[in-house]
Every structure is written in C-alpha cells, then in structure tokens.
C-alpha cells in the first residue's frame, strides 16, 4: 500500500489513523426480497457493512461502503433501479467527533463518574472491584478468559433472603461496536448496587431476585473498537481463523442451539457475521454458556443488551416459521416492559420482526439453558437514526434511565409468572 512506499511520512500515519475516511453510509429502499438478496450477496466483494437490514415492507437498509467501492455499489443500485440517499457522507468525521468529545472527558474521580462515560475494559474492571468492596452482598464471578486472555466478570447483586430466589441474567457487549450496551449495564449495576435515590422498587426487586450482570462479554472486540488506530466499527471477537487472514467470529451467531451459518450468519471468516468454524468455537460464547448452565435452576430471565434500533425481541431467531410455545406470554412480557419506557420500542419474535439469525445467545438461553423469559434488547438510537453506533456520551444517562424503567417492569412482569 501507499504506507509502505511513503513509510514514516506524515501522510501515512494520518491515513492509517483514519480508516473510515471517505466511507459512506447509504440508506437504500429495497422493494423486493430479490433486491435485498442481491445486495447482501455483495457483502464480501464490496466489503459492505450492513448497519440496518430491512425486515418489513417499506423498511430501509443502511450500509457502509468504502470509497473504492462506492462507484461499484452506485452502479449496482442503478441497475436494480433502487432509490437511495447518502445518510453519512464521511463516517470518519463522525468517528473523529466522537473521539474528540471522549478525550475531553475529565478524570474519573467518584464512583458515579463511571456511569457517564464509555469506559475502557480496565475502567470497567476497576468499577466492578470498587462495587464489590463497597457492597457486602455483591459478589464477583470470573467466568473465564477471552481469546486474548482478558478475564470476563459477572457481578451478582441481590439481598440474601435465606431461601431460594429466582435470578435474572443481563449481559452486554457481545458486539464490540455497540458501546451503549456496556454503558447501560454499568448504569444498571450502579443503580442496583448503590441505589443512590433509595428507590423502593429497587429495594423490593433485590429482595425478589438475584441479578447477575456481565457488562462486557467481548472485551477483546470492544478494546479493538476503542483503539484509535484500529476499527471503531468492529463487531466480532478477535480470534484467528485457521485458513484465512481474516479475524473474528460473530459471538451472536456462535451459540449452539440450531447453529447454522446459512441462516443469517456466514461460513466466511471475512464476513462480519461469521458464525465460527463450529458451534461454540469461541471462548466468549462458551463463557456465557457455562455461566448460564451453572445457574440453570435459578435463572428465569435473560436480557442481552445490544444496539441499535429500539427492539425488544424474543425467540425464536433461528427461523421465521418457528413460534415459541409460550409466544403469547413472551409478547405480553415484552409489551409490559416497553410500555414502561418513553422510547418507542418494537416488540416481536426476532426472526419475524427483524431478520433470521441462528446461533444467538437468546435462543440458546431459552432452548437449552432453560431460561423461559429470554430477550434481546436493541437499545437506542432508533433504526432511522443516522449515526447508529456512534453516539455522544451525553446520551448515556437518559438512555440508561429509560432502559432501567424497562428492566423494572420486566422483572415484575416475569415475577408474576414464576
Ligand atoms: N441484532 C442482533 C444480531 O444480529 C439480533 C439478534 C436477535 N436474536 C437472534 N437469535 N437472532 O445479532
Ligand atoms: Zn448486536
């Protein structure tokens, strides 16, 4: 590349630090399934990154494309007679703006400061260690290491009652670039552990349930998305495939229930949706699986936090023709949960309202780990937002507070069914 030729020159350093320079996000309005298929089939050749896939009639598709493929994609769209608009003219401009605002942040001094920022892996750990030092009933469980040997933690929060209690498991950060998810999980931990407003609902819920929260499942991918010299839009983990130069498996395609790369995943290591060479090939998915199974009789609820789009989804994800036997109950709980929030969430079986994707943690939780009330929560912004994954830190408190309302309603709702 040009970097080799002009090694050490400022231009080289600059361009390697600006990986999304000239990258565009196009909003496309497909009108048929064939058009959608033609476009998703180009993922590999044109190095496309789908930010939003259409799920119902009249929905749109958002796709990031590198400058060298813009022309090719434009031609394809013209051939398909497809309407589109340029949603983001230059992704790098957004990334730079985000980096700049994050750099301006003042040092973390108090515990509460941790709830206001996109934290690093080590900051998340410091936060967790401080919480368990401060709160006698809080417990830290190390659920094992990631590919790059980072320890992964689950924190247990709940008031011991001297009898059996049902438990709710919440995880975040399965996908690296979805930064608002770990930030929301950190806020949940802070609110539940410290209860700064002495909220009677929180006190009550801690007596009814034990909460297990894993704020950062895919720490390797997350750190990769944070490093200014790498890829802010990284989604997968960081494992090396055997026969490819490409890195990473999509952890939410790697779980072992109805695992199938052909159903919304990929068997190509270079794809952003690579399902892995086989089910549970990845330490990150195995860590979650082992934890879920170790708490099997206790766990009644599971929320896996993702972004973005404002969806509160339930199984099944592996097929859009399969319907859970308790579909009505799942929908009622979802309805109750989203009604408690001010944001307008879409609810439904994930393969029916979003897209088919086999190998998700939610399906595994319900089908194999025996957690009856299993949900994938796609946090803000809405699917029509233009900035998707790249969100100002100033949005964290309102999103976390709104989602906490959803969590409370969810917990009460499932309590009625246990
Ligand atoms: N956006 C999530 C993903 O693509 C949705 C997962 C929904 N669950 C599922 N099992 N498909 O991974
Ligand atoms: Zn996700």
Q: What is residue 241's predicted lDDT score, i.e. its pLDDT?
A: 84
DSSP string, 200-244: HHHHHHHHH-EEEEES-S-HHHHHHHH-TTS-TT--S--PBPTT-
Q: Which ligand is nearest to the CA of 313?
A: 1
Ligand 1 touching residue 320 (CB < 6 A) = no
Q: Of 96-100, 253-257, 295-299, 394-398, which gets the smallest average pLDDT?
A: 96-100
Q: State pLDDT tens for residues 41-70.
A: 999 999 999 999 887 677 899 999 999 999
Average pLDDT over residues 194-199: 97
Q: State pLDDT tens for residues 168-180.
A: 999 999 999 999 9
Separation of CA 179 and ligand 2 centre (Å): 10
C-alpha 152/C-alpha 140 separation (Å) is 10
Average pLDDT over residues 304-331: 97
Residue 397: Cβ within 10 Å count: 13
Q: What percent of the chain stands above pLDDT 90? A: 84
> ∠ at Cα 324 (322, 326), nearest 5°?
155
Atom of ligand 1 nearest to the CA of 355: 11
Chain Cα centroid distance, residue 407: 17
Across 52-56, 96-100, 102-106, 214-218, which has the greatest mean pLDDT? 214-218
Model confidence at 15, in pLDDT bands (50, 70, 90)? very low
Q: Is 1's pLDDT higher than 60?
A: no
Q: Is 5's pLDDT higher than 70?
A: no
Mean pLDDT taken over the chain: 93
Q: Is 378 a catalytic residue?
A: yes
Atom of ligand 1 nearest to the CA of 357: 11
Q: Is 8's pLDDT higher than 50?
A: no
Ligand 1 touching residue 363 (CB < 6 A) = yes
Using a CB cutoff of 5 Å, list residues around ligand 2, an ion: 175, 306
Model confidence at 16, in pLDDT bands (50, 70, 90)? low
- The tokens for 246 are 């490409």
Average pLDDT over residues 270-275: 96
Q: Is 355's pLDDT higher than 80?
A: yes
Atom of ligand 1 nearest to the CA of 309: 1
Q: What is residue 11's predicted lDDT score, i.e. its pLDDT?
A: 42
Atom 8 of ligand 1, nearest CA residue: 317
Residue 312 contacts residue 380 (beta carbons within 8 Å): no
Average pLDDT over residues 102-110: 79
Ligand 1 touching residue 304 (CB < 6 A) = no
Q: Is 7's pLDDT higher than 70?
A: no
Q: Which of 85, 148, 378, 398 is catalytic?
A: 378
């Amino acid at each position: 590349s040009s970097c080799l030729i002009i090694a050490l020159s400022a231009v080289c350093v600059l361009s390697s630090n600006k990986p999304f320079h000239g990258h565009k996000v196009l909003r496309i309005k497909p009108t048929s399934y064939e058009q959608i298929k033609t476009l998703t089939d180009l993922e590999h050749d044109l190095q496309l990154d789908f930010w939003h896939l259409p799920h119902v009639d009249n929905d749109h598709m958002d796709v990031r494309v590198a400058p060298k493929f813009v022309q090719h994609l434009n031609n394809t769209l013209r051939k398909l007679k497809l309407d589109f608009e340029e949603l983001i003219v230059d992704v790098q401009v957004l990334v730079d703006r985000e980096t700049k605002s994050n750099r301006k942040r003042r040092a973390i001094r108090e515990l509460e400061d941790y709830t206001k920022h996109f934290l690093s892996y080590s900051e998340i750990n410091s936060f967790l260690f401080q919480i368990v030092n401060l709160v006698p009933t809080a417990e830290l469980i190390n659920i094992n290491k990631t590919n790059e040997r980072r320890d992964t933690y689950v924190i247990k929060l709940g008031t011991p009652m001297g009898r059996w209690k049902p438990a709710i498991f919440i995880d975040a950060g399965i996908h690296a670039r979805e930064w608002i998810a770990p930030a929301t999980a950190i806020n949940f931990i802070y609110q539940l552990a410290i209860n700064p407003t002495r909220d009677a609902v929180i006190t009550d819920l801690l007596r009814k349930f034990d909460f297990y929260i894993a704020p950062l499942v895919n720490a390797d991918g997350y750190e990769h998305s944070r490093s200014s010299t790498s890829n802010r839009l990284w989604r997968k983990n960081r494992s090396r495939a055997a026969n490819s130069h490409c890195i990473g498996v999509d952890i939410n395609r790697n779980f072992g229930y109805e695992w199938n790369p052909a159903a919304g995943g990929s068997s190509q290591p270079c794809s952003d949706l690579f399902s892995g060479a086989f089910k549970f090939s990845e330490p990150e998915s195995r860590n979650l699986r082992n934890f879920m199974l170790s708490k099997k009789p206790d766990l009644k609820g599971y929320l896996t936090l993702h972004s973005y789009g404002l969806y509160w989804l339930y199984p099944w994800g592996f097929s859009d023709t399969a319907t859970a036997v308790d579909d009505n109950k799942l929908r009622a709980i979802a309805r109750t949960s989203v009604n408690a929030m001010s944001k307008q969430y879409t609810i439904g079986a994930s393969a029916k309202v979003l897209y088919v994707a086999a190998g998700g943690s939610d399906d595994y939780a319900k089908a194999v780990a025996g957690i009856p009330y299993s949900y994938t929560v796609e946090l803000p912004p809405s699917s029509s937002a233009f900035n998707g994954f790249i969100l100002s830190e100033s949005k964290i408190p309102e999103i976390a507070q709104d989602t906490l309302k959803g969590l409370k309603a969810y917990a009460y709702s499932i309590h009625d069914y246990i």
